[in-house]
Copies of this chain bind each other. A is one copy, B any other.
């Protein structure tokens, strides 16, 4: 089976590495250069002229990024089985549609409102109580189009910075930690859930994911499973879906979802019986899902900006290095290291030991280190 992947970044690369042992071949379609080159044919198409050529070479289509124009996705889906569906893409591209769906399915979120003018933004900020965060309802690659309002008087400036005719305004949440759940749904409707991960961000970039999340109660895991199952079934979704949540004293609040394999699931490469990448390939190919049980405890450390001392990392007996073959650049995800351990105490020690060889890594702070 020939699988066409829209996008050719590290996610596509890891999908291919997981798919070759299942006798899949890969063709990548991208609008720019690519780190996946070498792992399959890559069609670089700046003008959208080679979509038909791409389609003629593949049996099924998937994507590794959610910013694909929905019209393009729909056109492709008419000609080849495409998973996840254009509808999933559409919902995930629009924060208003996403939050509306969460609400309809009874998935709690931080309070939110829509504003379509600077004046409306000021009113909404007043109603929700500052600080609030305002975001354009659609988002580009770069994560721009966001502003924090400390007071309602910030509205005019925020409106100008965002530069979008429709914004979503969200109340700040006092969360204990950020978590995510990754699930996969097969063509026949079978669903499997990975144990939730605890995610540590720094300067807006994911730095560490610990899985299973320390101190995770079965109730919280089940709550998250209920939410993501509702989403999967409602969208008749096939493939891997990621839901990012806040854990609060009053339960989970959904933040956003991604219709794809996710950075907070990279730990599954060695940390689970079947990786998120293999399970996505299984699902979109019509195969049964793989076992999602964890293998010990894992922490993923992102390699950001600089590669650090690769040979020191390779010499650690509990570390698994995954490089994306990209050039160094500040803020860029260059790879990740998966750390394995049998206890959280050991995990903390190992993560800190490894992080010293990664100059860009912030100090490791998590629910584990907060405990003392």
Complex Cα spacing A311 to B317, Å: 35
- Which segment of A63-71, A97-105, A287-295, A353-361 sits at the interface? A287-295
Task: Say which size band chain A's interface belongs to.
Answer: 20 to 34
- Say yes or no for A370: interface residue by CB 8 A criterion: no
- Say yes or no for A230: interface residue by CB 8 A criterion: no
Contact B323 A282 (CB under 8 A): no
Complex Cα spacing A23 to B290, Å: 27
- Interface residues in A20-48 by Cβ distance below 8 A to B read 20-23, 25-26, 38-41
- Say yes or no for A322: interface residue by CB 8 A criterion: yes
A40, closest chain B residue (CB)? B38
CB-defined interface of A151-193 with B at 8 Å, one 1/0 digit per residue? 0000000000000000000000000000000000000000000
- Interface residues in A297-338 by Cβ distance below 8 A to B read 310-311, 314-315, 317-318, 321-325, 335
Distance from A280 Cβ to chain B, minimum over Cβ atoms (Å): 14
A35, closest chain B residue (CB)? B23
Q: Which of B22, B40, B273, B317 contacts A291 (CB 8 A)?
A: B317
- Say yes or no for A13: interface residue by CB 8 A criterion: yes
Distance from A305 Cβ to chain B, minimum over Cβ atoms (Å): 16
Q: Which of B39, B290, B335 contacts A314 (CB 8 A)?
A: B290
Complex Cα spacing A23 to B39, Å: 12
- Say yes or no for A17: interface residue by CB 8 A criterion: yes
Question: Provided the pairs A314-B288, A314-B290, A318-B291 are in contact, do residues A20 and B23 lie with their beta carbons within 8 angstroms?
Answer: no
Complex Cα spacing A322 to B19, Å: 10
Contacts of A335 on B, CB cut-off 8 Å?
21, 23
A286, closest chain B residue (CB)? B311
Complex Cα spacing A287 to B309, Å: 11
A325, closest chain B residue (CB)? B23
CB-defined interface of A1-29 with B at 8 Å, one 1/0 digit per residue? 00000000000010001001111011000
Residues of A within 8 A of B (CB): 13, 17, 20-23, 25-26, 38-41, 273, 282, 287-288, 290-291, 293, 295, 310-311, 314-315, 317-318, 321-325, 335, 340
List of 6 A-B pairs having minimum Cβ-Cβ separation, nearest first = A291-B317, A288-B315, A23-B323, A21-B322, A23-B325, A288-B314
Give 26 pairs: A residue, B residue, CB < 8 Å, sorted on A.
A17-B17, A17-B21, A20-B38, A20-B325, A21-B321, A21-B322, A21-B323, A23-B323, A23-B324, A23-B325, A23-B335, A25-B325, A26-B38, A38-B39, A38-B40, A38-B41, A273-B318, A282-B314, A287-B310, A288-B314, A290-B314, A290-B317, A291-B317, A291-B318, A293-B317, A295-B295
